[in-house]
């Protein structure tokens, strides 16, 4: 935050009513335990009042909000062997961002603690949740009406509505966001003046107007169109990471790349880099040699887009990752899936981030509802690859594309998964699986039809498919997914 922006913020805070629950004014009180309790209370109160941050301001008299200066120097304060800032952050759960700003206003030293609003759980300090009641800090548990209100708020407030940067000038806004990318991706002409651009961005809820040519940048605006996510401190860890390893495990890393552009602004480049890093096969035609990607590009595109869109932004310290191994590609995102992984093919996706998903669909970055995973499965079958593995792992969702492998090298689980996904793909296309279609999918010779029958039998026993119509023999029977 620039000195000018900080001065403007302090003046705005000083103009608040005496009992503003998301702002605390102090002169010289530096008791670290009281500061910690206030940080918890202000983070929770800011969420309750739908503010992006709560504030403690030293150097302003509480009674009349006059700027009187302070002798408090937070960066010189220590609690035991720890710096005050680090001590505070480690004792607050979930982890919350606390920014310390120092400035001079009218030649008086002023200190501002900017505390990120709670997003999905009340913030605790030393295991206790606090809240502001008027100008007092109280335990949240002693005020059940406030506790109910804050939990109700968490249930309904989406990530996109949060604020990534507050009180920025229009000039700073244009330097922080790739506003031209918004119009380019939606195939709209770029307006000829700033006012029209700002009006459009505000209508899309990428920014919010304040007074006097000042704006807030929403989480939606920042995560999609940031020129550098590192400038939005709370979103920096949400940048897409691509890691390539030597071999089949994570022991030796060859290369790691971080994409700090917003998801929309940087999507095409990110997918292009992933494709360039993947192994390729050389195919020889009648006259020319051509290199063909081992994995279908449409599958990579859809899975990367899904990882960005469906992640749980409330899980801090983690973001979407693409990991490239010698024998597979893993794409993961924080957050367990909202639907069963077995139903990815047929059920419309449920997203925690509907505004984000909707805008990315309008920009043709991802497919319409329900068709993306179908295209992944279809392209994988077309490439004669093993069936992709969709799974929930801890607090993450993982999609695994397996490299080329002959049928003989596939294990029982991989064969059953291929059978199930093949049955699903045919069913949503208005068809039914048979011994013949499965042989074609897995490259099994017609003379080896008993092998396909055994896979079908294993998949039926696993309760993943069921008979649809019996033929004169097992070779003539047809099958549908268990949910059909």
Residue 120 has pLDDT above 80, yes or no: no
pLDDT, tens digit, for every residue of 4-46?
778 888 888 888 877 689 999 988 888 999 999 999 999 999 9
CATH code assigned at 422: 1.10.10.10
pLDDT for the residue numbered 30: 83
Query: What gap in Å lies between CA 337 and CA 232, rounded to an integer?
Result: 26
Q: Which alpha helices (H) appear in 141-193, and where do they start and end?
A: 144-156, 170-176, 179-185
Please choose, from the candidates 349, 122, 356, the residue with its C-alpha nearest in 3D space to the C-alpha of residue 238.
356
Query: How much is the mean pLDDT over the chain?
Result: 89
244 in the same domain as 227? no
Rounded to an integer, the average pLDDT of 371-394 is: 91
pLDDT band at 291 (very low <50, low <70, confident <90, very high): low
pLDDT for the residue numbered 6: 84
Q: Cα dihedral angle (227, 113, 53, 96), rounded to 10 degrees?
A: 80
413 in the same domain as 393? no
CATH code assigned at 110: 3.30.950
Rounded to an integer, the average pLDDT of 462-466 is: 96
Domain boundary among 384, 405, 426: 405
pLDDT for the residue numbered 474: 65
Which residue would you say has higher pLDDT here, 479 or 10?
479
Task: Name the helix (H) or strand (E) containing 330.
Answer: strand 328-334
Query: What gap in Å lies between CA 54 and CA 37, rounded to an integer?
Result: 13
Q: How many domains does the chain have?
A: 4
pLDDT band at 163 (very low <50, low <70, confident <90, very high): confident
366 in the same domain as 285? yes
283 in the same domain as 244? yes
C-alpha gyration radius of the chain: 28
Residue 316 has pLDDT above 80, yes or no: no
pLDDT, tens digit, for every residue of 57-99?
999 888 888 889 999 999 889 998 889 988 998 898 887 888 8
pLDDT for the residue numbered 44: 94
167 in the same domain as 99? no
283 in the same domain as 227? no
Residue 106 has pLDDT above 90, yes or no: no
Range of the domain at 109: 3-157
Rounded to an integer, the average pLDDT of 310-326 is: 90
Rounded to an integer, the average pLDDT of 465-474 is: 75
Rounded to an integer, the average pLDDT of 306-312 is: 93
């Amino acid at each position: 935050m620039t000195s000018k922006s900080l001065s403007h913020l302090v003046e705005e805070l000083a103009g608040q009513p005496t009992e503003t629950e998301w702002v605390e004014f102090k002169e010289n009180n530096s008791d670290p335990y009281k500061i910690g309790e206030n940080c918890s209370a202000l983070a929770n109160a800011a969420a309750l009042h739908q503010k992006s941050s709560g504030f403690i301001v030293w150097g302003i008299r509480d009674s009349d909000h006059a700027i009187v200066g302070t002798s408090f120097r937070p960066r010189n304060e220590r609690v035991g062997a720890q710096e005050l800032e680090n001590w505070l952050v480690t004792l607050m759960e979930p982890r919350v961002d606390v920014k310390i700003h120092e400035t001079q206003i009218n030649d008086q030293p002023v200190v501002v603690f900017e505390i990120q609003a709670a997003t999905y759980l009340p913030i605790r300090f030393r295991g206790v949740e606090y809240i502001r009641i008027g100008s007092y800090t109280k335990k949240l548990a002693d005020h059940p009406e406030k506790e109910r209100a804050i939990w109700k708020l968490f249930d309904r407030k989406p990530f996109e509505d949060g604020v990534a940067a507050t009180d920025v000038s229009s000039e700073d806004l244009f330097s922080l966001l790739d506003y031209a990318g918004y119009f380019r991706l939606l195939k709209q002409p770029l307006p000829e003046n700033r006012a029209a651009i700002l009006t459009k961005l505000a209508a899309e809820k990428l920014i919010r107007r304040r007074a006097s040519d000042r704006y807030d940048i929403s989480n939606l605006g920042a995560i999609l169109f940031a020129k550098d996510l590192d400038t939005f401190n709370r979103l920096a860890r949400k940048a897409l990471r691509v890691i390539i390893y030597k071999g089949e495990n994570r022991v030796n890393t060859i290369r790691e790349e971080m994409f700090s552009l917003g998801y929309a602004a940087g999507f095409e480049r990110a997918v292009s880099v992933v494709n360039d890093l993947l192994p390729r096969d050389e195919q020889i035609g009648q006259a020319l040699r051509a290199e063909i990607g081992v994995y279908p590009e449409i599958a990579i595109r859809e899975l990367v887009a899904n990882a960005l869109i469906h992640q749980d932004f409330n899980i801090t310290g983690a973001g979407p990752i693409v990991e490239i191994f010698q024998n597979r590609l893993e794409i993961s995102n924080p957050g367990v899936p909202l639907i069963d992984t077995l139903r990815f093919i047929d059920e419309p996706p449920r997203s925690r981030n509907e505004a984000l998903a909707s805008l990315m669909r309008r920009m043709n970055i991802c497919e319409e509802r329900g068709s993306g995973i179908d295209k992944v499965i279809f392209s994988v079958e077309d490439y004669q690859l093993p069936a992709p593995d969709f799974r929930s792992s801890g607090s993450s969702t993982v999609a695994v594309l397996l490299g080329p492998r002959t049928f003989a090298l596939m294990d029982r689980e991989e064969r059953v998964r291929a059978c199930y996904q093949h049955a699903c793909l045919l069913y949503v296309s208005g068809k039914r699986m048979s011994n013949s279609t499965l042989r074609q999918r897995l490259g099994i010779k017609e003379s080896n039809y008993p092998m396909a029958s055994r896979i079908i039998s294993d998949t039926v026993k696993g309760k993943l498919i069921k008979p649809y119509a019996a033929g004169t023999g097992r070779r003539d029977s047809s099958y549908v997914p268990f949910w059909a």
